[in-house]
A and B are shown apart, each in its own frame.
Chain A
Amino acid sequence: KAGVTQTPRYLIKTRGQQVTLSCSPISGHRSVSWYQQTPGQGLQFLFEYFSETQRNKGNFPGRFSGRQFSNSRSEMNVSTLELGDSALYLCASSLEQTWDEQYFGPGTRLTVT
């Protein structure tokens, strides 16, 4: 089985711009979670999607949003980028629930200048 893939792998954006990141889960996995990883804050949960519905949301501002498509692929969007949004964004997929084994993608490294 192919693993979780994320595109793009690296991204440089300017403050105020917006960005869309993509995640393709393992075939058959229906739950997709997104995390932000930074040296200072560690791994923080952004949101989780299941069957095209946001099932859970972490403590992030409304500038962070996401969606899931019928094939379980997911996108996350960050609008009005701030310098503090620079981070590694990881997605993880699991069969149905986040307490099923989660498989992480390689991440998208976002740098905001």
Chain B
Amino acid sequence: GENVEQHPSTLSVQEGDSAVIKCTYSDSASNYFPWYKQELGKRPQLIIDIRSNVGEKKDQRIAVTLNKTAKHFSLHITETQPEDSAVYFCAALNNNAGNMLTFGGGTRLMVKP
């Protein structure tokens, strides 16, 4: 089955700096890669996703890049703000092998004002 590894497990940045979180996956047939943000005590929320037919997707300060050859994808947050502080999860899914999302272990991002 799919295995997703996420790094780093914790990340501390200064407000205004950029943050990058990286994930690798094992199933080369995986074709959908969402990112979720979970604030303390709250439910995960989808912040951006990418499908395997594109290499990059951007939404305001958030971007995701996908390298299918290397089987890794990354989340980039620019101009970080204190409200970006949360746990971020990456996930991967092969929609030709069922509807099962496999999550990475999570990254706790702390943005210091």
Contact = CB atoms under 8 A, between A and B. Distances in A.
Do A and B interact?
yes
Interface of A: 4, 31, 33, 42-45, 48, 50, 55-56, 58-59, 90, 97-99, 101-107
Nearest to B51: A99
Question: Looking at chain A's contact residues, is the secondary structure mostly helix, strand, loop, or mixed?
Answer: strand
B30 to A, nearest CB: 11
Interface residues of B, number: 24
A35 to B, nearest CB: 8
A43 B95 CA distance: 19
A48 B99 contact: yes
Nearest 9 CB-CB pairs, A to B? A98-B99, A43-B103, A104-B43, A99-B32, A56-B98, A42-B105, A56-B100, A104-B44, A56-B99
22 contacts: A4-B43, A31-B99, A33-B99, A33-B101, A42-B104, A43-B89, A43-B91, A43-B103, A45-B100, A45-B103, A48-B100, A59-B1, A90-B43, A98-B93, A99-B93, A101-B46, A101-B49, A102-B46, A102-B101, A104-B45, A106-B42, A106-B43
A33 B34 CA distance: 15
A33 B103 CA distance: 14
Contacts of A43: 44, 89, 91, 103, 106
**Which of B34, B42, B51, B99 has most chain A Cβ within 10 Å?**
B99
A42 B49 CA distance: 20
A14 to B, nearest CB: 25
